[in-house]
Structure 1
Amino acid sequence: MTTPGISRLSAGLMLLLLAGCQQQSAKTLPAAELAVKPQWLAGDHHVHTHYSVKWDNSVFPPKPILGGDAKYSIEHNARMAAAFGLRWMVITDHGGPNRARLALEQAYPELLASRAALPQILQFYGMEFDVPGNSPGGRHASLIMPKTPTEAQQLFQIESRFNGRQGVPPGPEKAEDSFMLKALQAMAALPDTPLLLVNHPARLAKGLRQYFKVTPKQLRDWQDTAPGVVIGMSGAEGHQAATLNPDGSSKAGGIRGEYPDHPTYGGYDQMTARLGGVWDSLLAEGRRWWVTGVSDSHGHYTDGWADFWPGQYAKTYVLAQQDYASIFAALKAGKIFVTTGDLISALDLTVAVKGAAQGVGAGETLKVKANDELVLRLSFRDPDAPNGGGFNPQVARIDLIRGLITSTAANGQAGDQSRAADRNNDEAPATKVSQRWYAGDWRIQSDGSAMLEWPLGRINQSQYLRLRGTNQRDELEPAPDQPGENPWHDLWFYSNPVYLQLSAN
């Protein structure tokens, strides 16, 4: 879907106006309530700074070129993230011959200073991990450290030993896929276990279902090796502003997400967006596999780069208190939804036994009996305000997606049956859109939120439910993104799943 460019004042002026509005909104949030009651808090777990360096290989050892592959300081990124409504972010600079030392001695002290200067936005320490294996340059993951006094030393230990591009040159063992499994085992053995989400998994795919660099088998292998570390993948990809010129007009031939051979779908990677595809095949095994949205910000499009500011376009929301431990735990537990273009700012999907006051939400499991009547309760907020592009989009449709869990899961992770299945399986044929709702189907409450309740009936097999919504009323499945497409006109959100476990008794 190709649409005209953005009509607006100068990009700089619009950003300043939006930043002022967002900062004013952040100041009015009730601090005491944020500290106690879990709320939907927006964040971004894939942000680059000027410590994503390039390397001068004319000298030995190679010398880092600060700002070589990303433009802004940590504090500048944090200020813009806060201006666009984020409450947390993760610094994820990428590696090279001796980036582990650079990160420990220079980047980490700058992060500490940024935390002190901007305590209103929680800033996690992490990196874009270069996955070891054959041609690791196309395989990246967000590695997120829990905030502890030894976070920098623990990340240095992992990066210096296992990062695929670390070393002058990297050791030959880093060309083996098995070395990634050793890295994950080392991560899982750290005193403070990190989280890992696979970045842009199908960016280098040669076509639909023609995966390259990252395969469904690898996703399964990685999670089975370290189920407490590997929790999912980014769905809404970065570099969405690659279709925009610095003045905001559409760039002919620009490709959303910079996917060279096969496009994104509504701004989402095909591993997330294809109904009954890779994501659903993982969920059908009972896996706890979450999807998120990121900026992958290196430099803003108004400066001639391909990115939005953190939080300007894609947001990952977690249901948490405003503290590091709560946000980290919510990410791990899958209390997450992702949206683009500020289409929504809250999304509560709850499934309960009919008549019960309490149910379960995203990332959780409801144990039910065969004769239980189930009900779905949905609440969401469509913010009545301009988004980061100056538009005020409306939710036109929400889809309820149901899939069967076809293999036994143990302890919330894949069990023996899924281990024996086709490791490269990328289909869940039982996954369907079971219901579509339109604007007239939900009711607006006095607080501005929208609500609906829907009967689910009884189930005869364990299953999962997830939601997908869009401003495209009649685009029943997200269409392949076209060159030059304006990302602000094609917006989607995704919930993470709720699991229904059928009990024998």
Structure 2
Amino acid sequence: MINKFRAFTVSVLSLTILFQGLPAAVAAKDAEDNQTNPGGRWMKGEYHAHTTQSDDAEGSQSLESLLNNAFDKYGMDWMGISDHLRMSSRDDEGNLIPGGPIPLSQGISQYQAPKIKQLQKEGKFKNKVIFSGFEWDMPTYEHVGIGILGDQPGSPKSLKAANQFEYLFTNQDEKMFDPKDVAIWKSQDQRANKTSEDARTALAWLEENYKNTSYAILNHPSRKRVYSISDFRDFNNIAPDVMFGFEGMPGNQLEPDRGGLNLTTPENRTYGGSDYMLAKVGGAWDALLGEGRKFWNFSNSDSHFEISENRLYSSGYWPGEYSKNYTWVNGSSIKSVLDGMRSGKSFSVFGDLIDALEFQAKNGNNTVDMGGDLKVKEGQMVKITVRFKSPQKNNNGDPVKVDHVDLISGEVTGKAEPGTPAYNKATNDTTKVVKRFTSKDWKTDRDGFHAITYKVKANKDQYFRLRGTNLGENVSGETMDGEPLIDKKTEIEDNETRFSEINKRNYKDLWFYSNPIFVSVEDK
């Protein structure tokens, strides 16, 4: 065990790049990049994909294979690796670790971070952003995607912070950590890894210590029916700068139960591939937005393998193959990507239904984008503009066309107080589709962008968000009155036929969701 500690310490001290997919010189020029490209750019990526350092991933799911598919085959711009924060028995190439399993944070330091640095030094994944987060088993709850990026990308402090988090907030044996570190950590904090209060302690720890340089995003939240809406409110209250979103469009879309959400209750299934919390107009997400919370939607692959090596099971697509987040990023560093994620200026899409979206609200000379808050006088007009574009074909080789786009709105009434009935209410009764746009309502320019304008008089605090699909309003088994229906399980005995039908199911049922724009009304 002493040798493992020594290797871990040496790797920390020798790293010059941590959780960073760009050369150090590029990262150092981030400020210059912001000046030369002050408007930023859209970048495609996700934060939730696994490698062989997760024991439930296939042996072929090496780090390099994952990055090859994400970047070279499916056109991603940034990637967050998110292996399980558990004991890890394999390295980044799938080889068994000599001496037996080690804590994941140590495995990241010894294998993953050095391999990313090596690959980029060799010229691979040029101008791509790569970082190592992890998927935490939050005590009494579900999986949470976490990244601790540090004040400066590449600092050993970030690796040490991940190691400290694993010590404090998982049930790993204390003997698996460096005794010198443990002595310091014990003097600072107590271990908290069993109760729902321990979960809250961990989030508070991130907010206190890494407020601007970490994230904690709830993965596939409805899968196990373990959350109440009051939990979401608690988490966001405790760590508003860190716990700022959820995986409303989960990965594992190649599961027979789409997204792997397979409980029997309607609230714990997917609708058009999306979590019920997202898909239900006036549901849990709208309840949070109705409080004015900056709480955003994300999509991910949750990639472990597509089809198992024994050809018995299917799981999820490669990163970028079926789902993407489009995030507006100013700069070229990991921190720039994190800031983009936190800003809410992003949208998420299945099956490349769209590959560009502009969504703005304007009043006079003031214009805001997704994630922003437009302040207007009561009675003034707000002009909402939407421009979107679809590729000619998606990654399945299918032509892509949006059938309609919904403009969804709900009132913002302020944060609910803990202990009140409102704090436990998981709906927003004011939310509705205020306008459904079809091709009759948009104009198309020579570049293939479809443009929509809509005006509304501002007489109350509210938010607006978008949802679009390739399906008509009433498609048997798929939609009713424009709303997505519950996804049926694909039950076919023959494995290969089942794999094919699952893929067909997914690609005929495509959706995109934007993050909201808030409109705040001031007295005249």
Helix, strand or coil at the partner of 2:232: helix
Q: Deviations over 1:392-432 (max 9, x none)?
A: 2210000000100122xxxxxx4x64774533321100000
Deviation at 1:108, TM superposition (A): 2.5
Partner of 2:284 in structure 1? 278
Match of 1:84 among 66, 71, 74: 74
Contact preservation (8 Å) 1:344, 1:381: yes
**Does the C-alpha gap of structure 1 residues 121 and 360 become closer, same or farther in structure 2, counting only changes over 3 Å?**
same
Helix, strand or coil at the partner of 2:244: strand
1:396 to 2:415 alignment: no
**Does the C-alpha gap of structure 1 residues 175 and 431 become closer, same or farther in structure 2, counting only changes over 3 Å?**
same
Give the letter aligned to residue 378 of structure 1: V
Give the letter aligned to residue 65 of structure 2: H
Give the letter aligned to residue 222 of structure 2: A
Contact preservation (8 Å) 2:166, 2:172: no
Partner of 2:45 in structure 1? 43
Contact preservation (8 Å) 1:264, 1:270: yes
1:238 to 2:251 alignment: yes
Match of 2:507 among 472, 488, 497: 488
Q: How far apart are the structure 1 equivalents of 2:173 and 2:375?
A: 46
Helix, strand or coil at the partner of 1:53: coil
**Does the C-alpha gap of structure 1 residues 110 and 466 become closer, same or farther in structure 2, counting only changes over 3 Å?**
same
1:203 to 2:262 alignment: no
Partner of 1:141 in structure 2? 144
Q: How far apart are the structure 1 equivalents of 2:445 and 2:462?
A: 30
Partner of 1:299 in structure 2? 305
Number of residue equivalences: 429
Give the letter aligned to residue 314 of structure 1: S
Partner of 1:352 in structure 2? 362
Deviation at 1:172, TM superposition (A): 9.0
Match of 1:119 among 122, 126, 131: 126
Helix, strand or coil at the partner of 2:66: helix
Deviation at 1:157, TM superposition (A): 1.7
**Does the C-alpha gap of structure 1 residues 167 and 266 become closer, same or farther in structure 2, counting only changes over 3 Å?**
farther
Partner of 1:501 in structure 2? 520
Partner of 2:350 in structure 1? 340
Match of 1:367 among 332, 357, 375: 375
Partner of 1:448 in structure 2? 448
1:225 to 2:212 alignment: no
Q: How far apart are the structure 2 equivalents of 1:86 and 1:163?
A: 31
Deviation at 1:439, TM superposition (A): 1.4
Partner of 1:380 in structure 2? 388
Helix, strand or coil at the partner of 1:158: helix
Q: How far apart are the structure 2 equivalents of 1:300 and 1:104?
A: 27
- Equivalences for 1:241-280 in 2 at 5 Å? 241-242=254-255, 254-261=256-263, 262-280=268-286
Q: How far apart are the structure 2 equivalents of 1:164 and 1:286?
A: 36
Q: How far apart are the structure 1 equivalents of 2:217 and 2:174?
A: 23
Give the letter aligned to residue 290 of structure 1: W
Give the letter aligned to residue 133 of structure 2: G
Contact preservation (8 Å) 1:41, 1:320: yes
Helix, strand or coil at the partner of 2:303: coil
Deviation at 1:370, TM superposition (A): 0.8
Give the letter aligned to residue 434 of structure 2: S
**Does the C-alpha gap of structure 1 residues 111 and 160 become closer, same or farther in structure 2, counting only changes over 3 Å?**
farther
**Does the C-alpha gap of structure 1 residues 114 and 278 become closer, same or farther in structure 2, counting only changes over 3 Å?**
farther
Deviation at 1:383, TM superposition (A): 1.4
1:106 to 2:111 alignment: yes
Partner of 2:426 in structure 1? 426
Q: How far apart are the structure 1 equivalents of 2:289 and 2:120?
A: 36
Q: How far apart are the structure 2 equivalents of 1:32 and 1:502?
A: 32
Q: How far apart are the structure 1 equivalents of 2:354 and 2:174?
A: 44
Helix, strand or coil at the partner of 1:359: strand
Helix, strand or coil at the partner of 1:183: helix
Q: Deviations over 1:273-313 (max 9, x none)?
A: 11100000000011011001000000123754411010000
Partner of 2:9 in structure 1? none
RMSD: 2.5
TM-score of the aligned structures, taking structure 1 as reference length:
0.80
1:130 to 2:142 alignment: no
**Does the C-alpha gap of structure 1 residues 96 and 362 become closer, same or farther in structure 2, counting only changes over 3 Å?**
same
Q: Gapped runs of 5+ residues in structure 1?
A: 1-30, 55-67, 205-211, 243-253, 408-413
Contact preservation (8 Å) 2:69, 2:318: yes
Deviation at 1:322, TM superposition (A): 5.4
Deviation at 1:148, TM superposition (A): 4.1
**Does the C-alpha gap of structure 1 residues 309 and 34 become closer, same or farther in structure 2, counting only changes over 3 Å?**
farther
Helix, strand or coil at the partner of 1:300: coil
Partner of 2:296 in structure 1? 290
Deviation at 1:230, TM superposition (A): 0.3
Match of 1:309 among 315, 318, 327: 318
**Does the C-alpha gap of structure 1 residues 307 and 168 become closer, same or farther in structure 2, counting only changes over 3 Å?**
farther
Deviation at 1:453, TM superposition (A): 1.1
Q: Gapped runs of 5+ residues in structure 2?
A: 1-32, 88-102, 178-189, 474-478, 491-501
Deviation at 1:359, TM superposition (A): 1.0
Q: How far apart are the structure 2 equivalents of 1:169 and 1:104?
A: 14
Contact preservation (8 Å) 2:385, 2:452: yes
- Equivalences for 1:149-228 in 2 at 5 Å? 149=155, 150-163=157-170, 173-191=192-210, 193-204=213-224, 212-228=225-241
Contact preservation (8 Å) 1:316, 1:339: yes
Deviation at 1:41, TM superposition (A): 1.3
Q: How far apart are the structure 2 equivalents of 1:145 and 1:455?
A: 42
- Equivalences for 1:445-484 in 2 at 5 Å? 445-456=445-456, 458-474=457-473, 475=479, 476-484=482-490
Give the letter aligned to residue 47 of structure 2: H
Helix, strand or coil at the partner of 2:440: helix
Give the letter aligned to residue 241 of structure 1: L
Helix, strand or coil at the partner of 1:92: strand
Contact preservation (8 Å) 2:358, 2:386: yes
Q: How far apart are the structure 2 equivalents of 1:345 and 1:152?
A: 35
